[in-house]
Amino acid sequence: MNTSRLNKLFVSNAGLAGLILRAPIGLILAAHGAQKLFAWFGGYGLEGTGQWMASIGMTPGYLMALLAGSAEFFGGLALVLGLVTRPAAVVAAFTMLVAIFAVHIGNGLFMSNNGYEYALTLLVALVAVTVQGSGTFSLDNLIAKKLNR
């Protein structure tokens, strides 16, 4: 991959808005991923999450829990740091899309009924981060500056 193509991955004109959007989303995703991976914050860990995923037809459950938990936890951390922001946002957005259609769609829109409104909100915000990039205050921005030298 040449430098100009690589630079397109990191460059962003989002300014401060990039940080305002990606940091809270990243923290939320990392916390949800930590529930799945490590049983933190009242989560069930890989074993419990995997059993639940298998029970709703997402098999093999342990692998699905590992994939979803990793996308959320590591993708969330990447978003907070603004590091490889676009790829992290794409992977997390795909994870939200799967959550919407595999778990929430049959429950309607509202979260009070375990509906898809929250996952949809995260999906839309992640798509916006994918389009706009990480913004001024990010590791991606530092990398882009070094690539432009």
**Residue whose entry in the numeric block shows the structure tokens 């940091």:** 23
Torsion 104-108-113-115 (CA) sign: positive
Q: Where are the alpha helices (DSSP H) in 82-116?
A: 85-99
Q: Is-above-0.75 flag for pTM? A: yes
Q: Which pLDDT band, with edges at 50, 70 and 90, does 8 fall under?
A: confident
pLDDT in tens, 39-73: 999 999 999 999 999 999 999 999 999 999 999 99
Radius of gyration for the alpha carbons in the chain, expressed in angstroms and rounded: 16
Q: Residue 103's pLDDT is what?
A: 95
pLDDT in tens, 72-90: 999 999 999 999 999 999 9
Contact assessment for residue 78 and residue 88, using Cβ atoms and an 8 Å cutoff: yes
